């Protein structure tokens, strides 16, 4: 079934504790809002609009970096204003199914979306929901129980919630001014529409309080996998007065010869990252036969590999590179190399290792004919 989607990500999340709004905080290495965007795109959303708050543009661009297929739209003061802004931004026809999802429910899976879409084949509208399992209590406002309402027939509404676009727009147009709906289902219900309940998932809980993030981290970690890639690169020495290694220029009696800047350290790390995600090697992405890359800075090769990881919803956990040469001496420059790699990859310094060794006069590196680099990278990806 074709569908469009709107992610509501314009709130400030005051109850989630100090810091930036909860939808832009990191959950297992990814922004909270990104999790849902990836799931909706993976499920086949024809168009995806993410509604953001005023002043959140930079946070949103950072959160969705490398993720194609979505548009950012400004939201309003209330949640319903943001939903209506997202609906207005869609180019879909009125009979198209649209899913509305809260960014604060990050652990959305393709299976959840498919379950809802299957229900919408036979029904005009539906929501993911869970039957209420806990006993309900009503208090008197001072913490004393005054009633125990029956829980039979009660459900906890979740998102996504799905509707025909035209029907949802019409229902919002008929909603009384000055009253704020708690979700889209109530808007359609009050307009006389039928909404069916579709089994949800406890993992789709909304992140509201600081402790919710700890639980989400545990669930998210269980749905991740680690992959390791390795890379190796070598370049011969030629005429010149400096070499580039791990993004740092070092004065030397020779230069390294290559189509680009011949930074063997960055090349090896790039291949390690590409290997971890099964994306071939550096030559597949930046062919040495292409004059475009002649003399190019190898920084952009590594940034490209890192962007591919991010586009898959992953993150680079750590990198470790060993440089093999007699000269130049690496130790005086090792800290600068680590700092440059950490900057390029957005890693803590402790997650970046640069080591050096010699071949004690043996082989082409021992004869100072060239230099070799070997690297390992660990990448975390959705399972």
Token code pair at residue 154: 């009660």
Tokens of 194: 């039928």
pLDDT, tens only, 337-381: 999 999 999 899 999 999 999 999 999 999 999 999 999 999 988
CA separation for the pair 65, 111 (Å, rounded) = 25
In the chain, what is the straight-line distance between the N-terminal and C-terminal CA atoms, in Å?
25
Q: What is the pLDDT of residues 184-231, one digit of tens each?
A: 999 999 999 999 999 999 989 999 888 888 888 777 765 678 999 999
Q: Which of 120, 68, 371, 63 is nearest to 240 (CA)?
A: 371
* Residue 130 CB burial class (10 angstroms; 0-12, 13-18, ≥19): middle
Q: CATH fold of 3-222, please? A: Spore Coat Polysaccharide Biosynthesis Protein SpsA; Chain A (3.90.550)
- Measured CA to CA, the distance from residue 370 to residue 367 in angstroms comes to 8
Quick check: 302 and 267 in contact, CB under 8 A?
Answer: no
Peptide bond into 239 cis (omega under 30): no
If we measure between CA atoms, which residue out of 300, 317, 313 comes closest to residue 376? Answer: 317
Q: How far apart are CA 225 and CA 237, in angstroms?
A: 40
| Confidence at residue 28, expressed as pLDDT on a 0 to 100 scale | 79
**For the residues 116-140, what does the mean pLDDT come to?**
96
| Domain positions in the chain | 3-222, 225-382
Count CB-CB contacts under 10 A for residue 228. 12
Distance of CA 227 to the CA centre of its chain: 17
Q: In 3-state terms, what secondary structure has residue 203?
A: helix
CB atoms within 10 A of CB 23: 31
Do 103 and 25 meet the contact criterion of CB atoms below 8 Å apart? no
In this prediction, residues 81-90 reach a mean pLDDT of 97
Identify the residue whose tokens are 């440089």.
323
**pTM of the model as a whole:** 0.64
Instruction: Work out whether strand 97-102 and strand 70-74 pair parallel, antiparallel, or are unpaired.
Output: unpaired
Predicted confidence (pLDDT) per residue in 274-301, tens digit: 999 999 999 999 998 888 888 899 999 9
Pull the structure tokens for residue 346: 């957005």
Question: 353-363, pLDDT tens digit by residue?
Answer: 999 999 999 99
Count CB-CB contacts under 10 A for residue 301: 24
**pLDDT one-digit tens code per residue, 236-258:** 999 999 999 999 999 999 999 99
Q: What confidence tier does 17 reach under pLDDT thresholds 50, 70, 90?
A: low
Q: Determine phi and psi for 9, rounding to 5 degrees.
A: -135, 40
Q: Mean pLDDT, to the nearest integer, of 331-336?
A: 97
Other C-beta atoms lying within 10 Å of the C-beta of residue 184: 29
Q: Is the pLDDT of residue 53 over 90?
A: yes
What are 94-108's pLDDT values in tens digits? 999 999 999 999 999
In degrees and rounded to multiples of 5, residue 68 shows phi and psi of -95, 155
Number of other residues whose CB lies within 10 A of the CB of residue 125: 22
| Structure confidence at residue 221 (pLDDT) | 64
- How far apart, in Å, are the Cα atoms of 55 and each of 12, 20, 243? 11, 11, 43
Spatial separation of the C-alpha atoms in residues 118 and 111, rounded to whole Å: 10
Cα 220 off chain centre by: 12
**Three-class secondary structure of residue 258 per DSSP:** coil
Residue carrying the six token digits 């949640």: 79
For the domain covering 225-382, report its CATH number.
3.30.1330.50
Specify the 3-state DSSP secondary structure of 29: coil
If you average pLDDT over every residue of the chain, what do you get?
93
DSSP 323: E
Q: Is it true that 3-222 and 225-382 share their CATH fold?
A: no
Q: How confident is the model at residue 125 (pLDDT cuts 50, 70, 90)?
A: very high
């Amino acid at each position: 079934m074709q569908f469009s989607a709107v992610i509501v990500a314009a709130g400030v999340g005051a109850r989630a504790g100090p810091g930036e709004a909860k939808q832009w905080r990191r959950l297992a290495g990814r922004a909270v809002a990104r999790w849902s965007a990836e799931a909706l795109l993976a499920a086949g959303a024809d168009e995806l609009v993410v509604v953001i708050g005023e002043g959140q543009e930079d946070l949103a661009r950072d959160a969705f970096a490398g993720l194609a297929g979505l548009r950012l739209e400004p939201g309003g003061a209330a949640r319903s204003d943001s939903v209506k802004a997202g609906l207005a931004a869609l180019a879909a026809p009125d009979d198209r199914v649209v899913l509305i999802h809260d960014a604060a429910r990050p652990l959305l899976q393709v299976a959840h979306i498919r379950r809802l879409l299957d229900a919408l084949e036979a029904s005009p509208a539906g929501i993911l929901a869970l039957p209420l399992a806990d006993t309900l209590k009503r208090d008197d406002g001072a913490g004393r129980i005054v009633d125990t309402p029956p829980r039979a027939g009660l459900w906890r509404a979740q998102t996504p919630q799905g509707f025909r676009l035209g029907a949802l727009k019409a229902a919002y147009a008929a909603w009384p001014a000055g009253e704020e709906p708690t979700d889209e289902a109530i808007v359609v219900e009050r307009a006389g529409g039928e909404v069916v309940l579709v089994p949800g998932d406890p993992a789709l809980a909304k992140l509201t309080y600081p402790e919710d993030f700890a639980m989400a981290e545990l669930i998210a970690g269980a749905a991740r996998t680690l992959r390791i890639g390795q890379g190796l690169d070598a370049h011969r020495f030629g005429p010149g007065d400096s070499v580039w290694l791990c993004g740092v220029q070092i004065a030397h009696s020779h230069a390294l010869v290559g189509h680009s800047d011949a930074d063997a350290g960055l090349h090896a790390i790039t291949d390690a990252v590409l290997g971890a995600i099964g994306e071939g090697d550096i030559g597949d992405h930046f062919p040495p036969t292409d004059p475009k890359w002649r003399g190019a800075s190898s920084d952009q090769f590594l940034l490209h590999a890192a962007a591919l990881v991010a586009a898959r919803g992953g993150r680079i956990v750590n990198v470790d590179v060993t440089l093999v040469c007699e000269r130049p001496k690496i130790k005086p420059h090792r800290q600068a190399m680590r700092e440059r790699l950490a900057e390029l990859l957005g890693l803590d310094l402790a997650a970046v290792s640069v080591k050096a060794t010699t071949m004690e006069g043996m082989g082409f590196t021992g004869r100072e004919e060239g230099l070799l680099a070997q690297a390992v990278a660990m990448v975390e990806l959705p399972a």
